[in-house]
Chain A
Amino acid sequence: MSGPNTEYDPVEVTPLKAEQVAAMRDEALAAIAAAADLEQLKQVRLDHAGDRSPLALANREIGALPPQARKEAGQRVGQARGAVAKALAERTEVLEAEHEARMLVEETVDVTLPTARSRRGARHPLTTGAEKIADVFVAMGWEVAEGPVVEAEWLNFDALNLGPDHPARTMQDTFWTEPADNHVVLRTHTSPVQARTMLTREPPFYVVCPGRVFRTDEYDATHSPMFHQVEGLAIDEGITMAHLKGTLDHFAARMFGEGITTRFRPSYFPFTEPSAEVDLVCFVCRGAGGDEDGTTCRTCRGEGWIEWGGCGVVNPRVLRACGVDADRFTGFAFGMGIDRTLMFRHGIEDLRYMFEGDQRFATTFGSDL
């Protein structure tokens, strides 16, 4: 309000009497208390605290009173309006809280509804398995080497001490590309990657070579014309079989758990001498072959050991063919099947699951192993 009320009507002065102000206040308070929701309260605010409300009008009349009456009337009306404002604020808070509570109830959903609007993706365990293996070796300071799948016969065989009449050359029934006298094959192992490393780098080096390899095996639950290998090669001064054992024990522990070690059995591979088969302590029964009840372990068929791969000291003939100074350097090499390792690590019963492309297979494993 600015300035005195010029439409002053002396007849209306009477409401400034104490009982009248109290009545206006009480009426307002009653209306506030009766407001059931924020909408009604809005109307109550207009009616009892708005510009045209009785108390507002009464307030305007104070200026018209004689000066001696103004103070008293001002106090009286002011207190009444204060009480009404306070009641309005309190009621607003209550009603807002009620409104919010109701709204939250109304907005309640069934949080157990399915939330996926698109399917989950996954990477293939052969990929993540190879990565896991690579990570074990990279953490030791090794590197990951790669090479072509369609490979020169010389690198796949001759350079690795598998001469033209070596029995192993037919043992590993090879896919030959046409025309066969071009001497190009689908690599039968990832060993040519080792040969390439030796041919193109100066020792020392420590490399692992994961990759797909091919043999003319018919396709069944345990054989496939394509499978995956990881091979390792360490060439350095003073390398011994003990370093090979240490490396494979470490690898086994990282892949299958602390305390899982390997054992060597004499074997034969053209590119290593001495050569060994590597067995892994069964990570399920931890070498016991079964449980206390006498149930035979299914993973190792009661052997306590799982055949894992082959290894040995790099044959100096291979070093010479690949230009490594065999008098100064020695090396070790090892190799195992990634597919097979995953099959027993994860209890996968059929090798063909790996290559069928059924989405359910990789989805079981997710984005990492």
Chain B
Amino acid sequence: MRAPVSWIREYADLPAEATSEEIARRLTALGLKLEALEVGGADITGPLVVGRVLTKEPELQKNGKTINWCTVDVGPDLNAANGTGEADQGVGIVCGAHNFEVGDLVVVVLPGGVLPGGFAISARKTYGHISAGMICSARELGLGEDHDGIIVLPADAGEPGDDAFDVLGLREDVIEMEINPDRAYALSLRGVAREAATAFGVGFTDPVDRPVPPADDAGHPVVVDDPEGCPVFVARLVEGFDPTAPTPDWMARRIVQAGMRPISLAVDVTNYVMLETGRPIHGYDADKVRGALRIRRAEEGERLTTLDGTERVLSAEDLLVTDDSGPIGLGGVMGGETTEMSSTTTRVLVEAAHWDPVSMFRTGRRHRITSEAGKRNERGADPATCEAAADRVVELLTAHGGGTAAPGTTVVGAPPARRVVRMAADLPARVTGMAIDEATTVAHLEAVGCLVERDGADLVATVPLWRPDLTDPFDLVEEVARLVGYDRVPAVLPRPVGGRGLTRPQQLRRRVGRLLAGAGLVEVVSMPFVGDGDLDALEIAPDDPRRRWVPLANPLSTEQPGYTATLLPGILRAAARNVGRGADGVAIFETATVAFAPEDGLEAPIYGVDDRPTPAELATLEAALPRQPQHLAVVLAGPREQPGWYGPGRDADWADAIDVVRRLADDLHVELEVAAAQVAPWHPGRCAELRVGDTVLGHAGELHPRVCAALDLPRRTAVVEVDLDALLAAAPEVVVGPSLSSYPVAKEDVALVVPAEVPAAAVERALRDGAGDLLESVRLFDVYAGEQVAEGHRSLAFALRLRAPDRTLTDEEAAAARDAAVARAAELYGAHQRS
């Protein structure tokens, strides 16, 4: 909402010394938040003065255009400075407009002046004359559209040489405010001025407080079939209107200042009155209206061409204004084309109607119409203003466009009764924590327009019709609190009883993040939107659960129409972006929620809001939601260790990917099992399934070379995706401490030849099994395949560390444990010691 300060002052007796800044500050404190304070005329530099046309010589130019060579009296001083040097001779100015005569007062900008848009004025030679300035039009001064040329001032506007800023009201400040949806009343000067008057504690003159002619049957006939949708409909008629009459400059200026566009007098008057009162008005060309106006709901599929030229297919919920020809307007939202006012309209039928806000909101949304009128109607205008607003329109149309008010005032319906809200008298104090006594509460409620009565411990407030938002006791508390001043709310720290602290999963997620960062990985956050194209690039199978992303009804992009079930597309995009930006290695991780669409889409019911849903109802709600685990994804590409003065460095590969998870599992005391797997998008020979017991956490390994190529990633890019929730759930809460033997360690190395297809992890498990309790650790330190072992076999060399808790092991004991370990491996996998 943009409110010119002079317009506010018209209704609020603000002190003359109150600056626009101060007014804006106080309005902000009341909840009408300052967006911008526009200082009028700031984009114009003088000299901009009143001039009187002394001579006007039309001259036909070679291009066929006629210009006027004028002399203009701009006052003795400026005449002397800009003209021939004589104070009593005007300055010479070339003017292309023709809508003026000798003797008229005009607006002149002289050399040195600057007009909006940085248009600098200088004396210049044009059409064979030296033109020492310019006679201004409204558009050139940013005052709106031109009617038919330059501005011709009223004869009493001033004397030549007078500063035109004041004459034109150019130095007008405009306060632009953000109006919250509950404060529809502030979408009018009436509402803003009321708040300003309250803020300064000064008098307020209500612009709708005016005598109106009584309703009668002589006006245009109106039938309202749907009084719920249209509780009040007022119609007035103006006849003999001059459609060529210009909008007065002051009105056009205010309309521009309020952020709208002057169009024609008839339209401008309806907009002006809407800005003034908050009541949207519609004007019909009465000659085009066929018979009585009838207000009804549309029939499904009925059609109407609105005045923006769009043919609209209507819904049964839309409210219509019709006449004998059918629909002529989308009531309260937009008029129809057939009855639109035009440059030939001489009979104006004025409609001031109150419409059901919910219908307005739905119709506006359904037909994607946003308008100044619709905005006010859907938020709720004051239903009691229809007659006054219509009367004001009639007054302005007749005053500036000739014509007369036709007899007859049609009023159908009446404003509803004012709502009564009961509130405990001490509620404002109890809710705000401020010391607000009852007298203050009553005074502030009255200031916003309530009638207040005491009833026992309660106050009973009859709220004004312009405040449809005041329905609950807490709404009244807010009114009282904002008038007392939010800046007076004291600061008191509440003292909750001790909380449980972070939950275990919350703590573990922090731990995981720190471990990964400690391992040299950089965390990323990706957009979770996905589409089948992303999964096709990863060669993920059609029946893979990762295809069960949650589809969106209104995605931003058709390529990514869903919420993802895998982190891989997002994190791989990030990896490719890093590579594309010249990173010489990528090491990133992401933890985020993924979602798997339920196989059979369930409906999440909409329950009432008067009481909590039952546990069974809540369970139904939960069941309709997708499963949403937290996943962890990792991408490693390029140097894991960078080459340097110490050596050649090392590129990341499948082992680094698996090791990331192994280290996490170790730290969390989770026993992780690693097994070969073939899953897209991984390399079929370099992919591990990661398991805890029977639960598959996910996979790790190198990407398939085709996928690397498709995504512009380096070969051997290594990738992990695991279900982080499942990993964390496997972490024991309490770890049993070790007992540390101080007896010497016995080291035994064994090299075992096994068939190549036996996994190293299996042989290691066999050694552990066989070695028994004396085994402290076992570590694979070499893998050999070649001439010295049989075809199809390989040699795995393990270092065993053996130790007893209570004694030094003898050589024989250590050898026995080693032999038992080897025997177990031999038994399970045919392993034999390499000689």
Give the interface of A toward B (CB within 8 A).
Answer: 113-114, 116-124, 126-127, 131, 134, 138, 140-144, 146, 148-155, 158-159, 161, 163-165, 167-168, 170-171, 175-184, 186, 199, 204-206, 212, 216, 218-219, 225-226, 234, 236, 239-247, 249-250, 261, 263-268, 273-277, 313, 315-317, 320-323, 330, 354-359, 362-363, 367
Task: Provide 15 A-B residue pairs closer than 8 Å at the C-beta atoms, listed in order of the A residue.
Answer: A114-B644, A119-B585, A121-B516, A144-B503, A148-B628, A155-B621, A182-B602, A183-B603, A186-B563, A225-B529, A241-B431, A242-B490, A264-B487, A317-B472, A321-B612
Residues of chain A contacted by B365 (CB below 8 angstroms):
170
Given A119-B642, A138-B499, A143-B499, check contact A182 B517 (CB 8 Å). Answer: no
Complex Cα gap A275–B522 (Å): 40
- Checking B378, B492, B595, B606 against A183 with a beta-carbon cut-off of 8 angstroms, the contacting residue is B606
Given A141-B499, A144-B506, A148-B628, check contact A177 B606 (CB 8 Å). Answer: no
Which B residue's beta carbon lies closest to that of A244?
Answer: B489
Given A118-B641, A120-B520, check contact A242 B491 (CB 8 Å). Answer: yes
Interface residues of B in 458-509 (CB under 8 A from A): 472, 474-475, 477-478, 481-482, 486-487, 489-503, 506
Complex Cα gap A129–B52 (Å): 68
Residues of chain A contacted by B15 (CB below 8 angstroms):
none
Known: A117-B641, A323-B612. 5 other contacts (CB 8 A): A127-B513, A234-B496, A273-B475, A356-B574, A359-B586
- Checking A175, A250, A320 against B552 with a beta-carbon cut-off of 8 angstroms, the contacting residue is A175
Which A residue's beta carbon lies closest to that of B487?
Answer: A263
> Does the CB pair B478–A273 fall under 8 Å?
yes
> Does the CB pair B581–A358 fall under 8 Å?
yes
Given A138-B499, A154-B604, A183-B603, check contact A121 B575 (CB 8 Å). Answer: no
Shortest CB distance B725–A (Å): 12
- Checking B496, B524, B605, B645 against A236 with a beta-carbon cut-off of 8 angstroms, the contacting residue is B496
Residues of chain B contacted by A226 (CB below 8 angstroms):
527-528
Residues of chain B contacted by A241 (CB below 8 angstroms):
431-434, 481, 489
- Checking B30, B33, B517, B642 against A123 with a beta-carbon cut-off of 8 angstroms, the contacting residue is B517
B588-601 vs A, Cβ < 8 Å mask (1 yes, 0 no): 10101101000001
- Checking A150, A179, A268 against B601 with a beta-carbon cut-off of 8 angstroms, the contacting residue is A179
Residues of chain A contacted by B573 (CB below 8 angstroms):
357
Complex Cα gap A276–B30 (Å): 11
Complex Cα gap A199–B552 (Å): 27
**Which of B180-188, B276-284, B705-713, B745-753 has 4 or more CB atoms under 8 Å from chain A?**
B180-188
Complex Cα gap A354–B183 (Å): 36
Q: Does B28 contact A (CB under 8 A)?
A: yes
> Does the CB pair B182–A268 fall under 8 Å?
yes
B544-576 vs A, Cβ < 8 Å mask (1 yes, 0 no): 000000111111100000010000001101110
- Checking A124, A153, A158, A178 against B551 with a beta-carbon cut-off of 8 angstroms, the contacting residue is A178
Given A161-B609, A321-B612, check contact A362 B522 (CB 8 Å). Answer: yes
- Checking A167, A186, A276 against B378 with a beta-carbon cut-off of 8 angstroms, the contacting residue is A167
> Does the CB pair A150–B628 fall under 8 Å?
yes
Complex Cα gap A277–B180 (Å): 11
Residues of chain B contacted by A275 (CB below 8 angstroms):
478
> Does the CB pair A177–B550 fall under 8 Å?
yes
Q: Does B577 contact A (CB under 8 A)?
A: yes
Shortest CB distance A283–B (Å): 17
Residues of chain B contacted by A261 (CB below 8 angstroms):
491
Residues of chain B contacted by A181 (CB below 8 angstroms):
603
Residues of chain A contacted by B492 (CB below 8 angstroms):
240, 242-243, 245-246
Given A266-B482, A274-B481, check contact A142 B496 (CB 8 Å). Answer: yes
Given A323-B612, A359-B522, check contact A152 B625 (CB 8 Å). Answer: yes
> Does the CB pair B611–A206 fall under 8 Å?
no
> Does the CB pair A367–B552 fall under 8 Å?
no
* Size of interface on B: residues with Cβ below 8 Å to A: 114
Given A144-B506, A264-B486, A268-B182, check contact A124 B499 (CB 8 Å). Answer: no
Residues of chain A contacted by B500 (CB below 8 angstroms):
143
> Does the CB pair B606–A274 fall under 8 Å?
no
> Does the CB pair A144–B486 fall under 8 Å?
no
Given A123-B517, A267-B180, A275-B478, check contact A321 B493 (CB 8 Å). Answer: no
Q: Does B675 contact A (CB under 8 A)?
A: no
Complex Cα gap A358–B608 (Å): 46
Given A142-B499, A154-B607, check contact A315 B489 (CB 8 Å). Answer: no
Complex Cα gap A120–B518 (Å): 7
Complex Cα gap A172–B612 (Å): 24
> Does the CB pair B490–A245 fall under 8 Å?
yes
Given A144-B502, A165-B358, A321-B609, check contact A124 B180 (CB 8 Å). Answer: no
Q: Does B610 contact A (CB under 8 A)?
A: yes
Complex Cα gap A120–B585 (Å): 12
Given A141-B496, A175-B554, A357-B588, check contact A121 B520 (CB 8 Å). Answer: yes
Q: Does B765 contact A (CB under 8 A)?
A: no
Residues of chain A contacted by B813 (CB below 8 angstroms):
none
> Does the CB pair B646–A117 fall under 8 Å?
yes
Shortest CB distance B668–A (Å): 18
Q: Does B618 contact A (CB under 8 A)?
A: yes
Q: Does B640 contact A (CB under 8 A)?
A: yes
Shortest CB distance A174–B (Å): 8
> Does the CB pair A357–B434 fall under 8 Å?
no
Which A residue's beta carbon lies closest to that of B592?
Answer: A212
Given A118-B642, A159-B609, A240-B431, check contact A204 B486 (CB 8 Å). Answer: no
Complex Cα gap A188–B520 (Å): 34
Shortest CB distance A108–B (Å): 15
> Does the CB pair A152–B641 fall under 8 Å?
no
- Checking B521, B608, B612 against A322 with a beta-carbon cut-off of 8 angstroms, the contacting residue is B612
Which among A124, A161, A274 has the highest number of chain B CB atoms within 10 Å? A274
Residues of chain B contacted by A168 (CB below 8 angstroms):
181
Given A246-B491, A273-B478, check contact A357 B526 (CB 8 Å). Answer: yes
> Does the CB pair A167–B379 fall under 8 Å?
yes
> Does the CB pair A184–B625 fall under 8 Å?
yes
Q: Does B362 contact A (CB under 8 A)?
A: yes
Q: Does B31 contact A (CB under 8 A)?
A: yes
Q: Does B510 contact A (CB under 8 A)?
A: yes
> Does the CB pair B603–A176 fall under 8 Å?
no
> Does the CB pair A242–B181 fall under 8 Å?
no
B165-196 vs A, Cβ < 8 Å mask (1 yes, 0 no): 00000000000000011110000000000000
Residues of chain A contacted by B522 (CB below 8 angstroms):
119, 121-122, 359, 362-363
Given A184-B604, A246-B493, check contact A176 B552 (CB 8 Å). Answer: yes
Which A residue's beta carbon lies closest to that of B606?
Answer: A154
Complex Cα gap A33–B463 (Å): 115
> Does the CB pair A357–B431 fall under 8 Å?
no
Residues of chain B contacted by A146 (CB below 8 angstroms):
506
Residues of chain B contacted by A119 (CB below 8 angstroms):
520, 522, 585, 587, 642
Q: Does B514 contact A (CB under 8 A)?
A: yes
Complex Cα gap A151–B563 (Å): 12
> Does the CB pair A356–B644 fall under 8 Å?
no
Complex Cα gap A111–B155 (Å): 90
Residues of chain A contacted by B432 (CB below 8 angstroms):
240-242, 274, 313
Residues of chain B contacted by A321 (CB below 8 angstroms):
608-612
> Does the CB pair B527–A225 fall under 8 Å?
yes
Q: Does B29 contact A (CB under 8 A)?
A: yes
Which A residue's beta carbon lies closest to that of B469?
Answer: A268
Which A residue's beta carbon lies closest to that of B505?
Answer: A146
Residues of chain A contacted by B183 (CB below 8 angstroms):
268
Shortest CB distance A287–B (Å): 14
- Checking B362, B486, B610, B612 against A276 with a beta-carbon cut-off of 8 angstroms, the contacting residue is B486
- Checking A206, A266, A322, A359 against B30 with a beta-carbon cut-off of 8 angstroms, the contacting residue is A266
Shortest CB distance A183–B (Å): 5
Complex Cα gap A164–B317 (Å): 15
Which A residue's beta carbon lies closest to that of B179?
Answer: A268
Given A313-B474, A363-B522, check contact A165 B361 (CB 8 Å). Answer: yes
Given A127-B523, A266-B486, A362-B524, check contact A243 B494 (CB 8 Å). Answer: yes
Residues of chain B contacted by A247 (CB below 8 angstroms):
493-494
